[in-house]
Amino acid sequence: PDRPANEQHPFKLTGKAGPIALRPHDGCGFIKASLAARMPTVRRAGQTGDPDRVAAFGEGRRSSLPALAAQHYPRSELVADEAREKARAWLESRQGQGRGLTSEELFRTVTAGHIDGPGAVAV
């Protein structure tokens, strides 16, 4: 545990109507997959084809690689070639649509190759 069970957490959320019913916990928030698999909600979220399946927040959406993420890749021709190819493929997929790029699309293409993929939300 992050602190003894009988000790109150020092961080308390309050609003105009008084305390907000949250119980914050310190730490990184990760648990073992074997423990998560024992939780009914986690099991339901992982089951495919189940009509009662709970979709994860943001599931099915695509997200663009943030421009600042490129700083974590080494400066090399291989990385530059991959970014260039991703940008080229994305631009080619847009041909024939009859409209130019928005300012955001241009920014994402120039700064991060407009690389996108399945989105994920970390809480």
φ/ψ region of 98 (left if φ > 0, alpha if ψ in -120 to 50, else beta) reads: left
68 in the same domain as 118: yes
What pLDDT shows up at residue 77? 93
Give strand pairing partners of 14. Answer: 19
Q: Residue written as tokens 């119980």?
A: 23
Assign 69 to helix, strand or coil. Answer: helix
Domains in the chain: how many in total? 2
49 in the same domain as 65: no
Per-residue pLDDT of the chain (123 residues; tens, 9 = 90+): 556 778 776 667 777 888 776 655 555 566 777 887 888 877 777 666 667 776 766 777 778 888 788 788 888 999 889 889 988 988 888 888 878 888 888 888 888 888 887 776 665
What pLDDT shows up at residue 16? 84
Q: Which range marks the domain in which residue 45 is found?
A: 1-56
Give strand pairing partners of 101. Answer: none
52 in the same domain as 66: no
